[in-house]
Amino acid sequence: MHPSPPVHLARGGTSVVVDASTAGLPSILYWGPALGESPADELDALAAASVPQRVSGSIDIPARLTLIPQEAHGWQGTPGFTGQRGGGFLTPAFQLTHLTADDHQLTIEATDDDASLALRVQLTLTEAGLLRQRLAVTNTGADEYEVRSLLAFFPLPANAQEVLDHTGRHLRERSPQRHNLTTGSYHRESRRGRPGADATVLVAAGETAFGFERGQVHAAHTAWSGNHQYIVEQTPSGDKFLACGELLLPQEMALAPGATYTAPDAIGSWGDGLNELASRFHAEFRSRPEHPVRPRPVTLNTWEAVYFDHDLATLKALADRAAQVGIERYVLDDGWFSGRRDDTAGLGDWFIDGTVWPDGLTPLINHVRSLGMEFGLWFEPEMVNPDSKLARNHPEWIVQTPGRLPVAARQQQVLNLAIPDAYDYILTCIDDVLRTNDIAYIKWDHNRDLLEAADAISGAAVVHSNVLAVYRLMAELKERHPGLEIESCASGGARVDMGILRHTDRIWTSDCIDPIERLVNQKHTGLLVPPELMGMHVGGPRSHSTGRTHTLPFRAATAIFGHFGVEWDISGLSAEELGRLGSWINLHKRWRDVLHTGTTVHADLPDPSMDLRGVVASDKRSALYGYSLTGSSASYPPGRITFPGLDPATTYTIAPAAYDYEDQGQSGLAWVEAARNGAPLAMSGRILGAPGVQAPVLFPEQSVLIEVRAHTPERHHTP
């Protein structure tokens, strides 16, 4: 086909310029801040100015970073597509055959007639300014073709010098790590059958020392809940890019004639600082039709209160206290089903245990509902204990290499939901429990990584098919039970991605609710996920996962920004202690609408022991910030804190949201004292953003919440 002129996509403050004249497939020349009205001749000039020179020792036609870069066109970096048909055609040569575009979407079709393959690439700029890539390849040949990889490529600007991603473990997910972007390839993979506790929610690359408030940065995310890969690469010729997609196991994507493999959505964001980059993801979540619209119910989960000790009187007493402090949803965790007295047995036998619950769950559910709370229940549908009726009756439903079970984890194995009978069994079990009980919410757990993820009979890899089965199962349950909400829990936060969040209403951010750990975890989970979809709970005084002891204000202030809840045995609290907890719940409810619709911000403070984060209302008329001191400060008193995200021209008052913290200063702090006396100081958003105000003197591991509200001067009337 005749080469098309460059295409300019523009939406949501983002521009993408695509050159369709490059060899094979089009190339993204630019992705970043909106360019405004760019005349055609200027775009033509950009395309011409982007053509590299031939140099000594190189191929005759310098290769370009196209949408799917290919060795057949001279590309020698990571290829965009690999596959094989009987050992041949390892390097397809796709050629553009058709291109259509409008203001914010471009679709290309390409073929390789020799390899008998067809490719479709759709680029979309969303209303939030995200760049979404949808890739699909079809086998047009007469015999089977195995797809090995199909990756989406996002070009990086020349000033991208530093990479940010995440690592972690159970109880410490999404720990940030940084390194310089140097020549070569940096490759992150998940081979756990789910993203995993060590997974990164995105890979970002930007200017040296980019922060949350400033520094150009680009990032990519794979909207997929199974094996995946991320690549950051700089070639010897100077090309820099992010690439991401599904990681396919051998023969996992063997396409029959006429079959198509559609890769998971790959989604890119950019920003002047990580706050802006994250805000695009948050806006995208909030624009989805499936996004929760009602206020997120304050939740109590019973796990850390009772574990497996299910006693009706104890659980009813816990519900009484929950209602007393303003809890809106009560969730019964693990231990309610057949044979489940500990974690060694019962998974798969999803029937209410008559020995523990002789009258079923009805007495507890009725009690919870009579107190005005919703009732939720824990399931782990994708797992099975070998010590269960299900495993004994259907060992062929267990994911395994034929004849050999994988190494156990938490005394459990994985159910192959890609088997229709296994899928139907689990669907029927859960549906029966939901149909015969008043249950509004499922805590959906997934407590182990997949190993040797194969079909027990054929030996074929089953990670991809099981991810699709889980999506389908969740969707079908929601269709049968309108209004049902589902939480994605995966031994904490081991399955956090935009794929699972198309079907769930929040994620459990981590099994660790120690506030020191959660400050880091929630900050970096929030690069992708908005706060209303992040479960943040107040734990007991002593953390079950770290052994550290913290005050209620520190624990509550850390949790208050998200989908707020309690993970604590509150049945033995005194009236005074219950009152203090209730005041924090009431504070959350007063700010809930702002917290779950506003813009999340983090301040770049020079002292690493000082953390300031907040949410600014969409109209910028109010904001709630949390200032925490995580260790001893380098200066004493600690110096200034600043408040990002406010309107520079608006005048605001500033005051503690609650005085339930210990100020260690030996004299009063002027802005705190003014607020305490009913005359809070008023300053512009520009002043609060920089230079800011003096921070309170706190002990390490303490927090104070700060309310910022648009100032309305009193009007004085002439008598």
Q: Phi first, then psi: give them for residue 45, nearest 5 degrees.
A: -65, -40
Three-state SS letters, 284-341: HHHHCCCCCCCCCCCEEECHHHHCCCCCHHHHHHHHHHHHHHCCCEEEECCCCECCCC
CB 453 within 8 A of CB 465: no
* Residue 610 to residue 700: CA distance in whole angstroms: 10
Which DSSP helix (H) or strand (E) runs through 688? helix 685-689
For residue 388 the two structure tokens come to: 């269960």
DSSP assignment letter at 533: G
- In 3D space, the residue among 292, 374, 290, 291 whose CA is nearest the CA of residue 332 turns out to be 374
Is 445 annotated as catalytic? yes
Residue that has been written with the tokens 């596959």 in this structure: 83
For residue 706 the two structure tokens come to: 């700060």
From the list 511, 514, 611, 660, the catalytic residue is: 511
* Residue 297 to residue 353: CA distance in whole angstroms: 28
Three-state SS letters, 371-417: CCCEEEEEECCCEECCCCHHHHHCHHHECCECCECCCCECCEEEECC
Is 343 annotated as catalytic? no
Cross-strand partners of 635? none
* Residue 506 to residue 491: CA distance in whole angstroms: 15
3-state secondary structure (DSSP) of residue 517: helix
Sequence-separated (6 or more) residues with CB below 8 Å from residue 704: 553, 557, 626, 627, 656, 661, 696, 698
Residue that has been written with the tokens 């706190």 in this structure: 698
* Residue 619 to residue 335: CA distance in whole angstroms: 46
DSSP assignment letter at 95: E
From the list 165, 445, 455, 497, the catalytic residue is: 445
Q: Phi first, then psi: give them for residue 565, nearest 5 degrees.
A: -165, -175
**Other beta carbons within 10 Å of 399:** 28
**Other beta carbons within 10 Å of 107:** 15
Cross-strand partners of 652? 683, 710
Sign of CA dihedral 147, 423, 475, 221: negative
Positions marked active-site: 445, 511
